[in-house]
Amino acid sequence: MELHNIEKLIEKYFDAATTIAEEEILRKYFSEGNIAPHLEQHAPLFNYFTKAKEERFTKQVPLKPRKNYLKWASVAAIAIFMVGLYFYEPTPPPVTLADEYTPEEIASAKEALALLAMNFNKGTEQLNHLNEFEKTTNKFLTKSN
C-alpha cells in the first residue's frame, strides 16, 4: 500500500474518523515489519491492539449465589412485630384526684388554698405601696441631678 495512503489513514485514525476496515489496513501495515522510519513511533500502538485481541482469560471465575437479605429482614421485622403484639399491655387510665381522695379531703384542701391565696394577695398589696414610694423617690433623685 502506498505510504501516502497510510499517512492519511493514521491522520484519520487519530481524528477518530476511520472505519473498521481502514483500521484493519493499519494493523496489517504495522504488523508486516516493512514500516517507514517516520511512522515507526506508531508501530507499538497497533501491535499492542493485535496482541490484545489474541489474549483470552482462561481462569474460572467463582460465582457466589446472591443472597436475598431483604426477604429475611422482612421476615424478622414481622416476627418482632408479632412478639410485640403478644406482649403488649395497654396502659391503665390516669388516676384523677376524685378517685384517690374523699370529697371532705378535697374541700379542706380548697379551703387551705383559699386562705393561702388571701394572705398572698395581702402581701402583694403592700408591694404596691412600695412601688409608689419608689416612683416618688426616683422623681426627686432625677430632679436633683
* Residue 23 · residue 14 · CB < 8 Å: no
Alpha-carbon distances, residue 5 vs 9, 20, 41, 114 (angstroms): 6, 16, 17, 115
Q: Rounded mean pLDDT of 16-22?
A: 88
The phi, psi pair for 13, rounded to 5°, reads -60, -45
Residue 81, burial from CB neighbour count under 10 angstroms (0-12, 13-18, 19+): exposed
* Residue 41 · residue 61 · CB < 8 Å: no
Q: Rounded mean pLDDT of 70-85?
A: 90
Q: Rounded mean pLDDT of 34-38?
A: 82
Average pLDDT of every residue of the chain = 82
Where is pLDDT greater, at 87 or 144?
Answer: 87
Q: With 70 as the cut, is the pLDDT of residue 97 above it?
A: no
Where is pLDDT greater, at 116 or 40?
Answer: 116
